[in-house]
Amino acid sequence: MKTLEHEGKSIFSRYGLLIPRGKVVDNSLEGKKVAEEFGGEVMVKAQVHTGGRGKEGGIKKASTPQEALQWTKEILGRKIRGYTVNKVYIEERVNIEEEYYLAFILDRSSGLPLFIISSKGGIDIEKVAREEPERVRRLKVNPLWGIHPYQVRREALEARIPSSHLTPIVSAAMKLYEVFIGEDALLAEINPALLTSEGRLVCGDSKVELDDNAFYRHQELHNSLESYQEEDPLERRARKEGLSFVKLKGNIGVIGNGAGLVMSTLDSISREGGSPANFLDIGGGASADKMEAAIDIVLANPRVNSLFINIFGGITRCDEAARGIIAAIKNLSPQFMPVVRLGGTNEEEGWRILEDSGVEIKVCKSMKEAVIKAIEYKKEA
């Protein structure tokens, strides 16, 4: 889950990182009022889940409350890389001496936190990494030991950061690592990290991405985030049920047990000319309760007019899955005939249970046959 800038800064503040004063507004008059409160000179920032806001005109400097009103009015409602701006963040301006870059990110190739520091921050950080690689340093961190101040100092000096600036940078990097570990983050980034004329390091921006798999450890935080509230209601509901669900644009509902199986099912449907409505992985079990929750979520999408349940019996036996499917379909009574493909452990017993159930289910023994039937039933519907 990605946070908005003001949400990330709120998290940073709890860990002792310095952030400028700021308030979120959704109308221009409120923007002017906040600017007056902060002394007139403020930044007006679009709050959307994408980078590159500055290049797209989503971040503006205002020298007076009237300018803040004008910029707020102009930014609200505009689209930035496909996202509509519904709120802006009015933030006091700080006296900037230097802009740096600090981040911790999960390096998936090694499974370790990766510390990144650069002596140049701001909107062109990608260009710096490409054209001046000597100004960007990376360090893989052993999570058993964490990162130590001497390591931050060493990498900062290697990135050509003056030694006189190290104290606030080291302090901020250590706190940022606490954010990364404490919040189960996949990314915790300060860009730009602003060194002020007073010698303080202030978070000019925030980018935080939280690991959905650790949701249960931070439920109160997640529930308070606008990012969570704006999430698709079906995806949010699936998360609460412990199901991996992503809503797509098609009309064939898909349920499977295992991410690889579900993805191959989506590919097969697309290859045969169909259009999947979702990705839904029920995981390792196919109990009646879990299957009913999965089917109910899929059918709650009004676009769905066909349902394909694809189960491979491994740890979960096909006969157990069949009983769960029957119980769920009896309770939910879908308006069209579901297509079920069972394969693997106890598949023949599973087929028999489904065929003898008295419930209208099209049982298929091969993936291709099931995909074709799911598409045909959609066309008939």
Q: Which tops the pLDDT comparison, 333 or 189?
A: 189
Q: Are residues 281 and 261 in the same domain?
A: yes
Q: Are residues 255 and 320 in the same domain?
A: yes
* pLDDT-derived band at 320, boundaries 50, 70, 90: confident
Query: DSSP strand E in the chain: where?
Result: 22-25, 42-46, 59-62, 79-80, 83-84, 88-92, 96-107, 112-118, 136-140, 185-196, 201-203, 207-210, 244-247, 252-256, 278-281, 306-313, 339-344, 362-364
- Domain stops at, among 93, 111, 130: 93
Concerning whether 349 is annotated as a catalytic residue, the answer is no
Q: Which tops the pLDDT comparison, 315 or 58?
A: 58
Q: Are residues 177 and 317 in the same domain?
A: no
Concerning whether 177 is annotated as a catalytic residue, the answer is no
* pLDDT mean over 191-220: 90
Predicted local distance difference test score (pLDDT) of residue 187 = 97
Predicted local distance difference test score (pLDDT) of residue 112 = 96
C-beta atoms surrounding 61 within 10 Å: 12
Residue 310 near residue 256, CB atoms below 8 Å:
yes
pLDDT above 70 for 229: no
3-state helix, strand, coil in the chain (%, to 5): 40, 25, 35
- Domain stops at, among 93, 112, 135: 93
* pLDDT single digits (tens) 81-108: 888 999 999 999 999 999 999 999 999 9
Task: Tell me the C-alpha distance between 375 and 381, whole Å.
Answer: 10
- The DSSP secondary-structure symbol of 81 reads T
* pLDDT single digits (tens) 158-205: 999 999 999 999 999 999 999 999 999 999 999 999 999 999 999 999
Residue 65 near residue 36, CB atoms below 8 Å:
yes
Q: Are residues 242 and 373 in the same domain?
A: yes
Task: Spot the catalytic one: 89, 100, 101, 377.
Answer: 101
* pLDDT mean over 36-64: 93
Decide: helix, strand or coil at residue 208. strand
Q: Are residues 243 and 325 in the same domain?
A: yes
Largest CA distance in the chain: 79
Task: Tell me the C-alpha distance between 211 and 241, whole Å.
Answer: 17
Least confident of 84-88, 133-137, 217-221: 217-221
- Give the global pTM: 0.71
96: left (phi over 0), alpha (psi -120 to 50) or beta: beta
* pLDDT mean over 251-262: 92
Provide the domain count of the chain: 3
Task: Spot the catalytic one: 189, 209, 292, 347.
Answer: 189
Range of the domain at 265: 233-380
Residue 15 near residue 208, CB atoms below 8 Å:
no
- Domain stops at, among 180, 199, 231: 231
